[in-house]
Structure 1
Amino acid sequence: MKKEQELKDIVKQRYTTIAEQGKVENASSCCGATTPSNKVYNIMMDDYSETSGYIEDADLGLGCGLPTKFAHIQKGDTVIDLGSGAGNDCFVARHETGSEGKVIGIDFTPIMIQKARSNAEKLGFNNVEFREGDIDAMPVNDAVADVIVSNCVLNLVPNKEKVISEIHRVLKPGGHFSISDIVLVGDLPDALKQDAEMYAGCVAGAIQKGDYLKLIEDRGFQNIKIQKEKTISIPDDILSKYLSQDDIQSFNKGATGIYSITVYAEKEGVRQEKPKLKLSEIQDSDCCEPTSGCC
């Protein structure tokens, strides 16, 4: 298995390329994995187009669910989006939390941060900010968020246990998360697990569904629920880059399943009612350094 930093560098380079290309050029991706014949396969992403708050320019087609749909975001909430990309889920969350709330997007790809900040500026959203950093070491204080969302990102992080611990740290008591991600039932062929592009394409970095849920339970989260689950089928056109025809047939007939799940869980404690903030307080609270360009 490659070292953690090497895997992070692979993902960062891949998603830098995706950001440079945009959604149209990336339409033939398997959450980032290309196909030899350039056919268009939207096998993971869900359709956001009818979602309130959706901004097409911020949608690069990289998700595997609709976590904000199940996030129970309330007016005035502080929401953090992990792996925020060009800002798609942040802007949907902003529609739910309103101008009196706050949304913080975290991404470790500089060009994604630039795109997201540009989108927020064009929209005039002064209560949405984007911070560059790793989601396994979030650049936010303890007990900041009422809600955390994420869309097809934890599978890209080598140390998923650390991310779950960070989610617990930054959530307020009684806060909760809604996360869409890719998980497995059964083992992937070695050729898929070892390929760098398949790791950056959300599949090779996925872990067993049971192990994923146990990480959440072991960290002390409560009321864990799978809100949505769908099967992900990798087209033969993609598999042919890694497997022989015989191996493809064996894989398709085997017991291994690849799934997109949207998981909900709550941090222990009682959620406190919060007073409505004035606009100046929203702008100043928990703000990062002015030189970062996010405030």
Structure 2
Amino acid sequence: MREQVRRKYARAALGVRSEGCCGSGGLETNFACGSYAPEEIGELPEEAVGASLGCGNPVALATLSPGEVVLDLGSGGGIDVLLSARRVSPGGKAYGVDMTDEMLALARENLRKSGLENAEFLRGEIENLPLPDEHVDVVLSNCVINLSTDKPKVFSEAYRVLKPGGRFAVSDVVFLGSRAELPEPVREKVELWTGCIAGALERAEYEQLLAKAGFGEVSVEVQNVYDPQAVEGLEGPEEVEALRKVPVASAFIRARKPAREEASDAGE
């Protein structure tokens, strides 16, 4: 499954120059472009905007401040890293982590074109982040965590690299019902995994797994409910109707790693 995801996003990176804004229009791109204000993306390289394959704008969600250190999980072509780097300047830094060489090459080229000097793209997997403990103030991600087959490890790693009091601010896809009610063919299709659907968590699952990883102040705020007829990979009216009964939505997910004094109080 990981290799299927890697191949899809490698193709997206290589094809971005010919496909225009936000790729080819799959489910994960339905709301991406509209999530960014024109003034936000107006000064970014065209290819950074073209490679946006997310489902929201986690940079706006995170309310970044100068001097903060930011990490974007699954940074793709770099749009959220570049936007973050602008917001945390002066004194701050933005990292992006991605497992796809083609996306990393695209992101680094976009960084060069942007002229920004406070951003860096690292090769790695979001289940095993190449950063030390308590290194960042904010963890972002944009429609990537749902692609992981080990989400508890992702949340554990995000918690590890966050400083005490650090923030988790993610745009992702969630089910607004029981995933178990979906027919197995819909749940297991590779096309739906790589298109950000079948790997999505239920809303309550997201909350529970973040809390289990140690996070507090967890919230899942639904933004857009997807029209099943717009979902790539579905075959026939039965599969479309299945996703009507168990809707899929993009959501803003927020959480916070407790400050040291809070953790101490909880242990007493």
Q: Name the TM-score, length of structure 1 as normaliser.
A: 0.79
Aligned residue type for 1:190: E
Give the Cα separation in 2 of the matches to 1:236 and 1:98.
39
Give the Cα separation in 2 of the matches to 1:259 and 1:127.
33
> What SS does structure 2 have at the residue aligned with 1:65?
coil
Establish whether residue 220 from structure 1 lines up as the match of residue 214 from structure 2.
Answer: yes
Establish whether residue 79 from structure 1 lines up as the match of residue 70 from structure 2.
Answer: yes
Q: Is the 8 A contact 1:195 1:204 kept in 2?
A: yes
Moved over 4 A (4+): none
- The residue aligned with 1:43 is 30
Aligned residue type for 1:206: A
Q: Is the 8 A contact 1:52 1:95 kept in 2?
A: no
Give the Cα separation in 1 of the matches to 2:203 and 2:231.
26
Establish whether residue 157 from structure 1 lines up as the match of residue 151 from structure 2.
Answer: no
Q: Which runs of 5+ in 1 are unaligned?
A: 1-6, 32-41, 272-295
Distance 1:250 1:152, change over 3 A: closer
Residue deviations 1:104-131 (CA, integer Å, cap 9, x gap): 0000000111111111112222210000
Establish whether residue 197 from structure 1 lines up as the match of residue 191 from structure 2.
Answer: yes
Report the alpha carbon displacement of residue 174 of structure 1 after superposing the two structures with TM.
0.5
- The residue aligned with 2:265 is none
Give the Cα separation in 1 of the matches to 2:231 and 2:129.
37
Q: Which runs of 5+ in 2 are unaligned?
A: 262-268
- The residue aligned with 1:171 is 162
Residue deviations 1:24-71 (CA, integer Å, cap 9, x gap): 52323223xxxxxxxxxx534242242536623212131001111110
Equivalenced residue count is 251
Q: Of residues 96, 105, 112 in structure 1, which corresponds to 2:87?
A: 96
Give the Cα separation in 1 of the matches to 2:190 and 2:227.
19
Q: Which shifted more, 128-137 or 183-192?
A: 183-192
Residue deviations 1:212-259 (CA, integer Å, cap 9, x gap): 110001112111123453211232674xx54333x146426x531101
Q: Is the 8 A contact 1:70 1:227 kept in 2?
A: no
Establish whether residue 209 from structure 1 lines up as the match of residue 231 from structure 2.
Answer: no
> What SS does structure 2 have at the residue aligned with 1:174?
strand
The residue correspondences of 1:27-66 to structure 2 (distance < 5 A) are 27-31=24-28, 42-47=29-34, 48-52=36-40, 55=44, 56-59=46-49, 60-66=51-57
Distance 1:45 1:24, change over 3 A: farther
Residue deviations 1:130-151 (CA, integer Å, cap 9, x gap): 0000010000000000011100
- The residue aligned with 2:135 is 144
- The residue aligned with 1:268 is 258
Higher helix share: 2
Q: Is the 8 A contact 2:137 2:163 kept in 1?
A: yes
Residue deviations 1:161-215 (CA, integer Å, cap 9, x gap): 0000000000000111100111112333322222111110000111211111100
- The residue aligned with 1:105 is 96
Distance 1:23 1:210, change over 3 A: farther
Distance 1:94 1:237, change over 3 A: closer
> What SS does structure 1 have at the residue aligned with 2:40?
coil
Q: Is the 8 A contact 1:27 1:61 kept in 2?
A: no
* RMSD between superposed Cα atoms in Å: 2.0
> What SS does structure 1 have at the residue aligned with 2:227?
coil
Report the alpha carbon displacement of residue 21 of structure 1 after superposing the two structures with TM.
0.6
Distance 1:244 1:231, change over 3 A: same
Distance 1:23 1:182, change over 3 A: farther
Give the Cα separation in 2 of the matches to 1:69 and 1:176.
13
Distance 1:71 1:200, change over 3 A: same
